[in-house]
Amino acid sequence: MNGIILSMKKILVLLVVLLFVTKNASAQSGGVIILEGNYQGKNLYVQNPFGSNGVGFCVSEVKVNGNITTDEVNSSAFEIDMKPWKLNVGDKVEIKIFHKEDCKPKVLNAEVLKPKSTYEIVSMEVDKEGTFKWSTKSETGKLTFAVEQYRWNKWVKVGEVDGVGTPVTNNYSFKIVPHSGKNQVRVRQTDYSGQPRLSKAAEFVSDVPEITFAPIKAKTDINFVSKGKPIETMYEIYDQYGNVVKKGFGDKIDVSNLPKGGYFLNYDNKMGEFVKK
């Protein structure tokens, strides 16, 4: 009988030890916050709470690109110092913050790893055929360049080019569709802040002849012509409430499915009106 009681006590002790080891291993495994981006020359700041039991701080260690840092994580707030890793602005960065499972640290300025629009225009030109070329320097992250053309008293986005994102000189090219008369083209880049960074405009006068449209009162089609011949152009149609109902590129527009009434038509570099019968 005593042997049975002793065996039961041993089993109970083993269960308690196993429960403690499992709980401790779980606490040690914890969680990890992963931040990825590009180095922008700034350090990160972390708010570091206590664990739920009030003993010890939440963060256990920090790694930058796989390397364990020597940052002082045993404090309520600490800085992840990027200088020891000798990174260049624009270099890719992966930061892992390991923490206990029952708490979570907070990175106060994670946005410093996001690409920022810092490009500078080195040169910019566009020829009469619409080939637009520009060169940049000082890029610190991959961001898209939106190409914009000035038409109809506003800047119209006509395409996109992916930025290289490196500080050296980068060359870009995009083919626009010229309209008659004076043309203006520029690039726009927008980063995480939502604030656009705009270039100056490149200008040229095209050889595209002046375009007109007909008829003013249309039932099925509106046709674009120049010197009596069909010609393709960009266009937009707005209803009386300012809603875009059609847009595209071509030498004619099918308006047969539009409700009867008056409409505004943007085409070439002009603005006009027509009535759908």
Q: What is the CATH number of the domain that holds 126?
A: 2.60.40.10
**Could you tell me if 195 and 221 lie in one domain?**
no
Per-residue pLDDT band for 199 (boundaries 50, 70, 90) equals: very high
Is 175 among the domain residues?
Answer: yes
Where is average pLDDT lowest: 28-37, 85-94, 219-228, 264-273? Answer: 28-37
Q: Is residue 20 part of a domain?
A: no
pLDDT at 237 exceeding the cut of 60: yes
Does 47 score more than 70 pLDDT? yes
Is 89 within a domain? Answer: yes
Q: Are residues 143 and 200 in the same domain?
A: yes
Same domain, yes or no: 107 and 124? no
Q: Are residues 71 and 104 in the same domain?
A: yes
Cα Rg, the chain, nearest whole Å = 32
pLDDT > 60? residue 169: yes
Is the N-terminal amide bond of 215 cis, ω within 30° of 0?
yes
- Answer whether residue 8 is part of any domain: no
> Is the same domain home to 180 and 144?
yes
* Boundary-marking domain end, from 72, 91, 113: 113
Which region among 7-21, 95-109, 146-160, 182-196 has the lowest average model confidence (pLDDT)? 7-21
Last residue of a domain, one of 113, 141, 160: 113
pLDDT recorded at residue 54: 75
What confidence score (pLDDT) does residue 30 get? 83
User: Is the sign of the CA dihedral 191, 194, 199, 205 positive or negative?
Assistant: positive
Question: Of 212, 202, 134, which Cα lies nearest the Cα of 173?
Answer: 134
In a domain, 17, yes or no: no
Single-letter residue type at 136: T
Report the amino acid identity of residue 270: K
pLDDT band with cut points at 50, 70 and 90 for residue 7: low
DSSP letter, residue 26: H
pTM of the model: 0.73
- The domain total for the chain is 3
Question: Which amino acid is present at 197?
Answer: R
Confidence of residue 38 (pLDDT cuts 50, 70, 90): confident
Helix or strand or coil: residue 85? helix
In this structure, the answer to whether residues 174 and 222 fall within a common structural domain is no
pLDDT top residue among 17 and 157: 157
The verdict on 194 and 216 lying in the same domain is no
Whether the per-residue pLDDT at 23 is higher than 70: the answer is: no
Three-state secondary-structure class, residue 237: strand
Tell me the per-residue pLDDT of 86-141, one tens digit each, with 9 for 90 and over.
Answer: 998 888 899 999 999 989 999 999 999 998 899 999 999 999 899 999 999 999 88
The verdict on residue 4 lying in a domain is no
Tell me the helices (H) and strands (E) count for the chain, helix number first.
Answer: 1, 24
Is 35 part of a structural domain of the chain?
yes
**pLDDT score of 55:** 80
Residue 16, in any domain of the structure: no
Same domain, 107 and 133: no
Residue numbers of the domain that contains 217: 212-276
Instruction: Compute the distance between CA of residue 15 and CA of residue 207 in angstroms, rounded to an integer.
Output: 88
Q: What phi and psi values does residue 12 have, to the nearest 5 degrees?
A: -65, -45
Same domain for 90 and 34: yes
What average pLDDT does the segment 151-180 reach? Answer: 95
- Mark whether 50 and 91 lie in a shared domain: yes
Pick the last residue of a domain from 84, 113, 142: 113
Residues 62 and 138 occupy one common structural domain: no
Statement to judge: residues 124 and 64 lie in one domain: no
From residue 120, alpha-carbon distances to 56, 167, 276 in Å are 48, 10, 48
Angle at CA of residue 51, ends 48 and 52, nearest 5°: 135
